[in-house]
Amino acid sequence: MEPVGTAGFGIRTLAYLVDAILLSFVGGAFPYLVITTASSPPASAGQQATASSGGSVLVSLIYFVIFWSWIGGGRTLGMRLFRLRVVRDQNWTPLSVPAALVRWLGLWLSFALCFVGVIWVAFDSRHQGWHDKIARTLVVHA
């Protein structure tokens, strides 16, 4: 199916919220899914929080990079629900794994700076956030 235009802030936010909910279940469970030994001493609350956030970041990295790249068809589960796809901005082709990784790093930067890079989607003529501009991508209706 050919893309028909860029996706705006609202629909992209809804798709991301679906992904965030899914990732909260998987990422939150990640530390409990990794192999531990019975002889390991119990972890402190601080160690558990670090392991949980580290696991969540790893799950996020794997999830987005795979689904945004050609491997996942350029569509996360949330994007599939709303019929969206991420593509290269010049020729609307699928992303390579390195391009998806750059986009993911750009998304973290966009979040880290008070979400300004993500909110940028609402005001940009091509509906690109900073992560899209950095990775040269578009989110389109498909």
Model confidence at 121: pLDDT above 70: yes
Joined together, the tokens standing for residue 12 give 């992209």
What's the pLDDT score for residue 136?
97
Q: Parse the chain into domains and list their residue ranges.
A: 5-141
What's the pLDDT score for residue 49?
46
pTM: 0.79
Rounded average pLDDT over 23-42: 57
Model confidence at 113: pLDDT above 50: yes
Which of 7-26 are b and which e, b meaning 16 or more Cβ less than 10 Å from the residue's Cβ? bebebbeebbebbeeebeee
Length of the chain measured in residues = 142
Model confidence at 86: pLDDT above 80: yes
Q: How far apart are CA 124 and CA 92, in angstroms?
A: 18
Q: How far apart are CA 1 and CA 69, in angstroms?
A: 17
Model confidence at 11: pLDDT above 60: yes
